[in-house]
Every structure is written in C-alpha cells, then in structure tokens.
Amino acid sequence: MKTDSTLSFILLLLTCTFVFSCNEGNIQNTENLTGMYEKMTVEPPVATKKPMELKEHGHARTDDYYWLKERENPDVIAYLNAENNYVDAIMTDLSEFQEELFEEMKGRIKEQDESVPYIDNGYWYYVRYNEDQEYPVHCRKKSDLEAPEKIILDVNELAKDYDFYRAAGLTVSPDNQILAYAEDTLSRRIYKIVFKNLKTGEMLADEIPNTDGSIVWANDNRTVFYGMKDKTLRVFKIMKHRLGTDAANDELVYHEKDATFNLDIGKTKSKKYLLMASSQTLSDEYRYLDADNPDGAWVVFQPRERNLEYSIDHAGGKWYVRTNMEAKNFRIMSAEEETTQKGNWEEVIPHRQDVYVHGIELFKNYMVLTERVNGIRNIRIKSWDATEDHYVDFGEDSFVAYVSSNREYHTDIVRIVYQSMTTPSTTYDYDMKGKALDLKKQQEVLGGFDSNNYESERIYATARDGAKVPVSIVYRKGFKKDGTQPLLLYAYGSYGASMDPSFRSTRLSLLDRGFAYAIAHIRGGQEMGRQWYEDGKLLNKKNTFTDYIDCGDFLVNEKYTSKDNLFAMGGSAGGLLMGAVVNMRPDLFKGVVAAVPFVDVVTTMLDETIPLTTFEWDEWGDPHKKEYYDYMLSYSPYDQVEAKGYPAMMVTTGLHDSQVQYWEPAKWVAKLRDQKTDGNPLLLHTNMEAGHGGASGRFRSLKETAMEFAFMLDLAGKVKVKG
C-alpha cells in the first residue's frame, strides 16, 4: 500500500511503533540543501535494532538489522511501506514536477512503432507497439513483407491481470507451427514455459514451471530442452520435455552438481546441434547433441579446466571456438566436427594485446567479429578466402556497434545496430561484399529532438596508480566548463561488463536542464581489454572504487563540474560502487542514486542459500577464506558505514529482486540512518510489485526514472514546473 499524504504517513508511523521509532535528532544541518529539503519536517522511520552476532575466522560482527531478511514478517513489510511513505511525504512538493518529467520522457517515445523485421526459416518476424499500450505485440509474415500480418503473441493481453508481467524466450518450432515462450508474473526471474499452436491460436495443455526461461527445440518439432532452477535460483538441471506429456515426468538430461557452475541451453547457427553450457567465472564446459536425434547421447566438446574459458558455434561443417587459451584477450579457433578437444583446435584469429574479441557471427562467405579496439566496440568483416578484412566505418570516434538478429547463414548481408551518446539507436543492413550500409531504421525521438544540439567527448582521467581511465561525456551545446553546472557520473565496474557510450532518450531531461552526463569506464569492466577486468576484481576490487573517485576528482579539477554539483549513480554491482565511494569520499558528491545496490557483500557471499552466491566467488572472492574475508570486509559498504556526514542519497530496490535481495539496501539505509551525522535526505524506495529490473512495461518504468531525476534536479536547483 502507498499513500500520498503526509497525514497518512504519520498515522502509519503511529500504528507501527513496534517496528520503528522516530529519531528526533536526525535532522541537523540543512544550510546546504535546496528545494523541498530546506523544510524537511517529517521524521524518517527508524528500524528496530535486533542484534545478531555473526562470526567467521574468529572475527565477530554485530548486525542490528539482520531481521529485515524475514520477507514474510509483517513487521518487515510495514517498515518498507513506511519508508515508501516517507519518500512520498518528503517529495510531495515534487509530485507535479515528477509527473511533468514522466510525461516529457513518455512524449519522446513513438507510441505506434515497429521494429525492423528479420527473416528466420521463411518468415519475417518483428515487434509492434500500439499507442497507449505498455507491452509488445509479436508478429510475423510469411515469405515476404507484403504478406498479411499474423499476430503470434500480444503481450498486452497476457499482462492485463498482473501488476508485473514479462514474456521471454519466444521460440518457434522448426516446422513454424508451435510457439514456446516463458512468462514471469512475479519479477523473480522464475519462468513458466507454455506453448501456443500458431495455426489455431489455441494454447496447449503443456506447462513447465520453475524454469530459467530458456527454451530450445529439437528438430523433431515435439521435443524441447530447458533449464530448471534450484532454491538459490541457480540453473542446476537441463530437462527434456515432449509435447503432450506431463512436465512432472520430464526427463533429466544433465545435473550440474558443482554449485559454482550454472547451466544454459542453446542451438548452433547451423541448427545442426543443440548446445549445453556449464559455466562459471573462470571456466566453461560444453556438450553437444545432434538436433535430429533428441534422445541421443550428449558429447563433451572440451572438458572443463580451471581458467579455460571458451564458447562455441557451428556452421559450414566446422566448429568455431572463442577462447582465452593462451590468449588473455581471447582468440578464435576452429575444429573439425569429430575432433573437438583443445589439442585439435587450429587458430583462425590470433590473440592481440590491444584488441579484445567479444564474439563472432558466422555466414557462408564471411566471419563477422565484434572487437573492442581502444575501448570502442567495432564490427570487423573477414572473408573465409582471406581476400577481405575490414572494419565497418560509421564516421564517428566514440560509439557502440553490435551484431543484431542474423538467423540466416546463406547471405552476404549482416544486420547491425549502431548508436552513440548523441545518435539514437540505428539499424543497418550491411552488404559485406559491397561495403555499403543500408539504413533500415533510426529510433525516432519525438519532442523536437535534434542531435545537432548535443555534443559528446571522450577524455581520460589519470588514476592514482597511473592508469588512464576513459570517460565518455555528453551535454547540450553551450554547457559551461566553469564548474557551475551539474554533472551525473555513472559507472558499473564489475563482471567484465563494459558500459558503452550509448544513447538514452531519458537523459535528455537532464541535459536540457543543464546537466552533463558522463560514464566512467572504470576497471572491473572490459572496456580496455581483459586485463582491465582482472585489475578490478577479487583482491584488486578497490581499483574499481578509486578509479571512480579519481574520475570524479578529474571532472571537478577540469571544471566540468564542482563538488557541489557532482552527482553519482550506479545500480546492482554499480550500487556496490556507490556504497563504497560514499564511505570513502562522501565529500565529493552532492547527491547519489543507488539502484538495487549490492551493499552487504560479506554476509551475502557467506550465505550459500542466497541466489547467485556460489558461482560468484571467482568474482568477489570466497569469504570462507580469511584473505578474501578481510579484503571484502574492508570495502563492504554495509560494514563500513561510520558516524560521519554523507551526501543526499536515494536508494531503490524491489521486494522480489532475485539478483540483489531487497534486505541489502533496506539494512544499509537503516544503518546509515542510525550512524550518519548530517541532515541530508536519505530515501529508500521499494517497488513492492517488482524485482531487479524494476517495473515492467515501456511506460511504467519511466515513473521510477522520473522520481530519480526529480531527486537530483531538485538538489541541483533545477526544478521549474512548466505553466
């Protein structure tokens, strides 16, 4: 339940005194606050302390808020609702502005829209959005685009009875008759697989619960393979289902008993083989099966080895392998169909110290590689006969390009997507032989958007150890580099995930109000190659945090902004980043938005019952080992909260989050409230219907973005409601 009025919030506080009490001394210094925060009079909810002693390696920690893990406890729900009402009360004067931001962002979206069709197995597939509808309509046309449209799935109809709905894993049987898809109605990323007869429009009786949403058809049109999740949400089994049978009797294909590995299922580009991957951070093991023989025996491609990573695809009668074998930045190898182990691999694309190989797409005459060169993701075209080898030229220096849907093998056309911080997502068909880009569609941004009004830069900040950290920046032309204008610095910095200089229309609401938006490409990602990732994980993790701080100091010193105008944002593992940097340098930031933040690092990584723990020990370290325990404890945001001043902060989470459990940010905020000595606002908003990705639907999610932007714009003194 949410209420909009301050009175309702106060009544809720009075009825929940068994959970929390008012902290009369919490509001202290407000001379640096702006907007609504100058007159904060409503006291925040304060969670009850119920000390829990946690011991490891002879070291004891006291967790006063451990009890907030009790999801079914009415006191926990009451506390989360009270925090939501506190947000409503504090931001009540911004409600009109939030609605304006929402309508502004929604107004940039072309409501009646359609994706670029792609061809697969004789049908053209595309997604259509209708005016005033939240969800996609999946369609296809047979043979050519002039054929009548056939709606295969209207997600709006499926979602109408749910607060949250997501359809995923849509895949059509090889004979084009049956659609399999997975649905999540809780936002816990636990999917039920269902089947639809595309000829009659009827749903089949088959239903498969508790899956990861992955679905792969064998070539017999009646057998599907899927992943099953355990209680920690790890995909630990691959199962086989035959249409018309009870899912309770489905056959176990493979059980991954090593809790540090996760399973996945797929199919090769040639459609000849089914693939099963068992992977962890540092190693992979693939099995393959003839797709024409779903009851056959799976064959191990290359047995798992510590520190051997690889992925595979098949086309043209050969296997192709992307691997880090003697190649930190990865290389491409090939293997004959029956001799797949690494001793038989032959090099196709060699390892290079300055180029990171992301992946490959296979065609009859060409191999298309996605490579990161100088931190920028490029598309490289290489012919099998070695007569052609070139990069696609987009005419910009800072951009992101990637390979899109390419289901056909016998073609010289590759579908690619390009964008930059000033250029909306643009879909091209590229003629690999003629080297010609054919523009198929550019994302239409309504509301008077003109890319010529904006400017982007790529600069380099020097980290304290001398590393050069790229920073991508975009702003509206006329932005003054005199330290007077606000800047939002975003980063992630974990799992080797690279944050590319992409386009987001929502950012325009900040840029048009004087903000600059910057992405710090800090270590922990792979922007500058595999070593960039290695230097930001395990016992090097603090490089991620100091890189971000050094980027912030650089932007201040270079007059892009000032400490009074610098804002920070990160989500999930990027929320860990936010928690670490506000402990280390709270003076550097005016305001911080931490979305679904992973902040209770030590306690979570010690708990093997929590989703995603065991197979992330190679990312963060296993705290059962003292060396990692001590190091993680030294930066874990929850454990490092101190009695000192912190910047204004908005923290968001979802009750059903499967990636970062809601109690991590809830505990963190509770401890911050108890310890911090400043009078800056600290807000916790919990989406009680959603999980890690927030609200479903293309418009509803904008409500949360509008709330976060309103928070920052108000702190920056940029709130002006249009008359």
The residues annotated with a catalytic role in the active site are 572, 657, 692
The Cα–Cα gap between 119 and 392 comes to 22
The Cα–Cα gap between 683 and 712 comes to 12
Continuous segment of H or E residues that includes residue 6: helix 6-15
Continuous segment of H or E residues that includes residue 669: helix 663-675
Distance between first and last Cα of the chain: 31
SS (HEC) of 343-374: HHCEEEECCECCEEEEEEEECCCEEEEEEEEC
Pair 155, 179: CB distance under 8 Å: no
Who contacts 626 (Cβ-Cβ below 8 Å, separation ≥6)? 57
Q: What is the DSSP letter of 599?
A: -
The Cα–Cα gap between 640 and 638 comes to 6
SS (HEC) of 285-351: EEEEEECCCCCCCCEEEECCCCCCCEEEEEECCEEEEEECCCCCCCEEEEEECCECCHHHCEEEECC
Identify how many contiguous H helices and E strands the chain contains and give both numbers.
13, 40
Pair 460, 541: CB distance under 8 Å: no
- 3-state DSSP call for residue 587? helix
Residue 687 dihedral angles phi and psi, to the nearest 5°: -80, 110
Joined tokens for residue 605: 């990584």
Q: ∠ CA(286), CA(292), CA(298), 5° rounding?
A: 30
Q: What is the DSSP letter of 253?
A: E
Q: What is the DSSP letter of 495?
A: T
